[in-house]
């Protein structure tokens, strides 16, 4: 007689997800990380030397960090222990360390894989140091965040950081081919949709296989999806972007440098990436204002006006209409003549002010509101520039005893070409009229 579970069809084994079924069984099967596991890869060389030290795997999700850690344990005949920093505490770690000590006495090592190790606080990270030093465990930590910022210096000094790269289109396509082989059929997509599917994975191999599995489930017999159909069946994943961490800083840096490099197309691409990922448009607008005076400066005085206007326009309109104002400001700045002369001049002036201390300005340019100050020579000999030929007296404005400085040296680009002509002209007049040039 059939049991209740059998009658309901619940006695059947639940199939493993495609990504789990296709998990590599050899290091050579890992895709997209040839710099680590290829014939000349760092991990391949380590295994060839017969020794394995503690490691930190740094890279985006779905690039093979957990898989490689498991395979390393198998290659070196270490017991594999895995913990997650999200769910584990010091007490659980102490139990794992004690079990590793017992294995070591029996002649077997332990590879302890710590997922999201950056989520452990500083004290928890310190607990790994003794067992790493005495060889109780080989620690392999995985993190999506920059180890330089998130991990203790003491921990980093005892482990080698290996960078896992996001999977490129070739690597993603190899995974999709393995998925097709495992399912015994081709993905139900046309060529354009297949490329779109790879782009949706955003360098994440696990995501690519999950998306492929969703397609296999959704497609009816003989059905093939185009790009529009793909978007209907598979909800597009948001790009990997942490507004408080590396994604945030990497993309704003790329946007800034693209503007500085006069590449409006690249700048618009990074702007779109940040907007799509949910970055605050006002944060971007503030950075655009900074670009205007840091990288364009007086080569185009309109740049700062336009950047500020874009910020105000977004503040007034909001999304999505106001985003176009920021985009236009980015285009304007990227195509404007570039100059950091003002930026450099101010930094140099600040340094000079620190070096020379509190020197008093020359008395002839000081006001004398009291008779005592007038008796001390304040204001004596001041030449009112508007009364001088060309409205330029050429007198000295630097403190007495301080040589004349030149901080601002504009290039002959954009509007600063005109400014440079004026400065050169005034320098000649100053020399002719007995100044310092």
* Residues 175 and 141: beta-carbon distance below 8 Å: no
Mean pLDDT across 283-308: 94
* Residues 234 and 214: beta-carbon distance below 8 Å: yes
- Exposed, middle or buried, 111 (CB in 10 Å: 0-12/13-18/19+)? buried
Tokens linked to 23: 């998990």
The answer to whether residue 129 scores a pLDDT higher than 50 is yes
Q: What is the DSSP letter of 294?
A: I
How does pLDDT run across 85-115, given as a tens digit for each residue? Answer: 877 777 888 899 999 999 999 989 999 999 9
**Spatial distance between the Cα atoms of 90 and 39, rounded to a whole number of angstroms:** 38
**Spatial distance between the Cα atoms of 279 and 181, rounded to a whole number of angstroms:** 39
How does pLDDT run across 187-208, given as a tens digit for each residue? Answer: 999 988 888 888 888 889 999 9
**Spatial distance between the Cα atoms of 227 and 225, rounded to a whole number of angstroms:** 7
Q: What is the DSSP letter of 118?
A: G
The answer to whether residue 418 scores a pLDDT higher than 90 is yes
In the chain, where the domains are located: 33-163, 169-233, 246-335, 358-432
Looking at residue 113, its pLDDT comes to 95
* Residues 21 and 212: beta-carbon distance below 8 Å: no
**Which residues fall within 8 angstroms of residue 78, CB to CB, at 6 or more apart?**
52, 72, 108, 109, 110, 111, 138
Beta bridge partners of 162: 57
If pLDDT is split at 50, 70 and 90, which confidence band does 12 have?
low
CATH code for 246-335? 1.20.272.10
How does pLDDT run across 48-93, given as a tens digit for each residue? Answer: 888 889 999 998 889 999 999 999 999 999 999 999 887 777 788 8
Looking at residue 246, its pLDDT comes to 63
Please give the C-alpha separations between residue 222 and each of 187, 216, 327, in angstroms, as whole numbers. Answer: 11, 11, 44
The answer to whether residue 366 scores a pLDDT higher than 90 is no
The neighbour count for residue 86, using CB atoms within 10 Å, is 9
The kind and range of the H/E element at 56 are: strand 55-58
The kind and range of the H/E element at 79 are: strand 79-84
The neighbour count for residue 49, using CB atoms within 10 Å, is 8
Where are the alpha helices (H) located in 281-367, listed in sequence order? Answer: 281-291, 302-317, 321-335, 341-356
- CATH class assigned to 33-163: alpha beta
**Which residues fall within 8 angstroms of residue 124, CB to CB, at 6 or more apart?**
85, 89, 90, 93
Q: Is 338 left (phi over 0), alpha (psi -120 to 50) or beta?
A: beta
If pLDDT is split at 50, 70 and 90, which confidence band does 436 have?
very low
Looking at residue 193, its pLDDT comes to 87
Q: How many residues does the chain have?
A: 437
**Spatial distance between the Cα atoms of 182 and 176, rounded to a whole number of angstroms:** 10
pLDDT mean across residues, the chain: 87
* Residues 65 and 142: beta-carbon distance below 8 Å: yes
One fold for 33-163 and 246-335 = no
Q: Give the predicted TM-score (pTM) of the model.
A: 0.63
């Amino acid at each position: 007689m059939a049991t209740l579970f059998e009658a309901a069809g619940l006695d059947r084994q639940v199939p493993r997800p495609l990504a789990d079924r296709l998990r590599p069984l050899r290091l050579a099967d890992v895709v997209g990380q040839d710099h680590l596991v290829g014939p000349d890869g760092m991990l391949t060389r380590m295994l060839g030397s017969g020794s394995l030290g503690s490691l930190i795997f740094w890279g985006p999700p779905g690039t093979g960090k957990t898989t490689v850690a498991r395979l390393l344990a198998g290659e070196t005949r270490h017991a594999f222990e895995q913990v997650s920093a999200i769910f584990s505490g010091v007490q659980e770690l102490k139990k794992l360390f004690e079990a590793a000590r017992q294995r070591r006495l029996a002649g077997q090592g332990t590879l302890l894989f710590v997922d999201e190790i950056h989520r452990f606080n500083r004290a928890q990270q310190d607990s790994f140091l003794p067992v790493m030093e005495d060889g109780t465990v080989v620690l392999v930590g995985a993190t999506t965040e920059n180890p330089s910022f998130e991990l203790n210096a003491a921990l980093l000094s005892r482990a080698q950081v290996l960078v896992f790269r996001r999977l490129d289109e070739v690597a993603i396509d190899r995974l999709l081919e393995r998925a097709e082989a495992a399912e015994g059929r081709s993905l139900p997509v046309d060529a354009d949709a297949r490329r779109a599917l790879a782009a949706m994975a955003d360098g994440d191999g696990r995501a690519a296989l999950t998306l492929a599995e969703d397609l296999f489930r959704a497609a009816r017999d003989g059905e093939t999806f185009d790009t529009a159909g793909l978007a209907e069946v598979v909800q597009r994943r948001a790009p990997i972007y942490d507004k408080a961490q590396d994604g945030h800083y990497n993309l704003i840096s790329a946007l800034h440098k693209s503007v500085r490099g006069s590449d409006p197309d690249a700048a618009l691409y990074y702007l779109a990436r940040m907007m799509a990922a949910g970055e605050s448009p006002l944060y971007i607008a503030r950075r655009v204002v900074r670009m205007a005076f840091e990288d364009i400066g007086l080569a185009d005085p309109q740049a700062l006006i336009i950047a500020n206007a874009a910020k105000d326009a977004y503040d007034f309109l909001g999304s999505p209409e106001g985003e176009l104002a920021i985009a236009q400001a980015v285009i304007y700045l990227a195509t404007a003549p570039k100059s950091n002369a003002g930026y450099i001049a101010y930094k140099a002036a600040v340094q000079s002010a620190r070096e020379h201390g509190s020197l008093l300005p020359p008395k002839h340019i000081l006001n004398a509101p009291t008779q005592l100050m007038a008796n001390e020579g304040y204001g004596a000999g001041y030449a009112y520039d508007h009364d001088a030929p060309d409205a330029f007296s050429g007198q000295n404005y630097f403190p007495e005893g301080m040589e004349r400085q030149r901080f601002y040296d504009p290039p002959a680009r954009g509007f600063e070409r005109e400014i440079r002509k004026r400065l050169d002209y005034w320098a000649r007049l100053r020399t002719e009229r007995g100044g310092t040039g």
